[in-house]
Amino acid sequence: MTVKTPSRLEKILDSGQLAVTSECGPPRGSDPEAITKKAEMIRDYVDAINITDNQTSVTRLCSLASCIHLKLMGIEPTLQMVVRDRNRIALQSDILGAASFDIHNILCLSGDHQQFGDCSQGQNVFDIDSMQLIQTVRWMRDEGKFLGGDDIHRPPKMFVGAAANPFADPFEIRVPRLAKKVAAGVEFIQTQCIYNLNKFELWMEQARDRGLHEKVYILAGVTPFKSAGMAKYMKNRVPGMDVPDEVVKRMAGVPKEDQPQEGINICVETIERLKECEGVSGFHIMAIEWEEKVPEIVERSGLYPRPSELAIDD
Amino acid sequence: MIVASKKPIEEIIEMVKDFQKILIAGCNECVTVCEAGGKKEVGILASALRMYFMNQGKKMDIDEVTLERQCDHEYLEELRNTVDQYDAVLSLACGVGVQFMAEKYFQTPVYPGVNTCFMGVTEERGVWTERCQGCGECILGRTAGICPISRCAKRLLNGPCGGSTKGKCEINKDLDCAWQLIIDRLKELDRLDEYEQIIPIKDWSTERAGGPRSVIREDVRQ
């Protein structure tokens, strides 16, 4: 794989070092500090920060504006973009808007169905799907053209990512689906939160059998549990999530006041184990409304300090 | 067929309460099959309304008719000589029939007595489910005969999304994941390798997005 964009994340992955990304959810209001404070907490511990796009279909400050706030702080953002709310005109337009601020990473997603959010009576768009959004960004970047065929003046230079959920059903098409995203042009993958390590390792093994780990950088997704209640909730209520019973038991087996620390321990152990998994190119730490714990997780996992600009330019 | 469901009687009463004489017009096609607007439902609704208005002490004449179809001139014309006797028509046809009635009898108020829902099938008596959204460019040949546009909540052409769990959709555990069905059938047909072909961005101009549609066949036109 050769570097195709100015993305720092891409350079770090290309250098063979394990990358670390995290994410911040924008606020339900217009105070930029809600973003900048979270970002400030973790900026030295990660290579790029994803900004979620109206996650769980709850209306929030937009991903693009939040990414611009990060960019103005000198932090590398990853623009998450769902196809639920925008048609191809709006998607291309927002991609150009992001490119005008030199936002160099994008994560192409379907988006949760609107029924989970605060506007369950709203329309959804789904003009294109996440697979086709990957194709769209690659087309705009590599061919320098709009979907309509016209030339783009100063095309976007974006490192193109997507999500993969090794735990959704049916399992047998999980690797073919990854292959399909690779064929569509995806360059990095951030996975769903991993708690079932055996199943993840099986998925990676099947991905390696097809050589996919050499065609796409896979960042393993982790989310620390804050409590046994959260573990149970994720197990039972979140679609596409696989939390084994023993993990829930482990969380429930320690006193309530020690559960947050146990959650961090599990997260660090997960990273330590997956560092050894061939094809894992880095970690995506999703500490949901618990960003202050990201530094501890990164340090304890031996992923600190992050590479400096000089180190990756070598 | 076009599947409809009955409107709540309170809503119907609100629509017709200021008239003295109304005609309830059923349709002998789809809405008869889905038991929302056929002759039987016309009779039941007429009786219920008569009883309601009688209890209210209000004079209301209600006549009943069920046409063969309300989406064809030929059958709608059967009302030509009688429609003027009524203050309003309550049509139990689908939205197509209601509108064609309104177009034809321009001076008669026409009200809908059912909610038109979708194009679908009778899975079993009392259970009707959606199969087609009339996108105008059928892709069933690429999706093992199962339509992701009408059956996937996100109409994903390259699904499934990460919310597919145990064969069910993330929005409702009683709803089949369309892409699970597609994959199961591809497997059955020994064509699972086709799953990896990316379905290209769709031209939605043949769908609702392209504006009101028409099909014109010069070869059969008179």
- The predicted-structure confidence for A98-110, as pLDDT tens digits, reads as follows 999 999 999 999 9
The dihedral sign for the CA sequence A31, A34, A37, A39: negative
- Contact status, residue B68 vs residue B75, Cβ threshold 8 Å: yes
Chain A residue numbers touching B166 (CB-CB < 8 A): 169
Q: A178 lies in which domain range?
A: 8-313
Average pLDDT over residues A217-240: 95
Residues B76 and B104 in one domain: yes
Q: Is the pLDDT at A254 greater than 80, yes or no?
A: yes
Measured between CA atoms, how close is B135 to chain A, in angstroms? 12
Average pLDDT over residues A285-300: 96
Chain B residue numbers touching A90 (CB-CB < 8 A): none
CB–CB contact A240 B183 (8 Å): no
B111-146 pLDDT, tens per residue?
Answer: 999 999 999 999 999 999 999 999 999 999 999 999
**Mean pLDDT of chain A, nearest integer:** 96
The dihedral sign for the CA sequence B169, A243, A170, A54: positive
Percent of chain A, pLDDT > 90? 94
Residues B20 and B69 in one domain: yes
Residues B7 and B92 in one domain: yes
> Smallest Cα–Cα separation from B71: which of B40, B43, B29?
B29
Residue B128 counted as domain residue:
no
| Mean pLDDT, each 10-residue run in order, chain B (222 residues) | 98 98 98 98 98 97 98 98 98 98 98 98 98 97 97 98 92 96 97 97 97 97 88
Residues B112 and B172 in one domain: no
Least reliable range by pLDDT among A11-15, A135-139, A235-239: A235-239
Say how many domains are in chain B.
Answer: 2
Residues B52 and B142 in one domain: no
CB–CB contact A124 B157 (8 Å): no
Q: Is the pLDDT at A312 greater than 90, yes or no?
A: no
Residues B152 and B100 in one domain: no
Nearest-Cα residue of chain A relative to residue B202: A128
Q: Is B165 on the interface with A (CB under 8 A)?
A: yes
Q: Is the pLDDT at A314 greater than 60, yes or no?
A: no
**Res A13: pLDDT:** 98
Residue A75 counted as domain residue:
yes
Residue A162 counted as domain residue:
yes
- Contact status, residue B108 vs residue B25, Cβ threshold 8 Å: no
Residue A203 counted as domain residue:
yes
**Where does chain B have alpha helices with state H?**
9-16, 30-33, 39-55, 73-76, 95-104, 148-151, 178-188
Residue B145 counted as domain residue:
yes
- Contact status, residue A206 vs residue A158, Cβ threshold 8 Å: no
Residue B215 counted as domain residue:
no
Residues B29 and B72 in one domain: yes
Q: Is the pLDDT at A1 greater than 80, yes or no?
A: no
Among B179, B180, B187, B198, the residue to mutate for chain A (most A Cβ within 10 A): B198
CA–CA gap between residue A173 and residue B149 (Å, rounded): 20
Q: Which ipTM was obtained for this model?
A: 0.94
The CATH number of residue A71's host domain is 3.20.20.220
**Res A259: pLDDT:** 97
Residue B220 counted as domain residue:
no
Determine how many CB atoms are found less than 10 A away from the CB of residue A1. 12
> Smallest Cα–Cα separation from B99: which of B34, B2, B219, B169?
B2
Residue A308's pLDDT band (cuts 50, 70, 90): confident
**Res A238: pLDDT:** 87
Average pLDDT over residues A177-190: 98
Residues B145 and B200 in one domain: yes
Q: B78 lies in which domain range?
A: 2-118
Measured between CA atoms, how close is A240 to chain B, in angstroms? 5
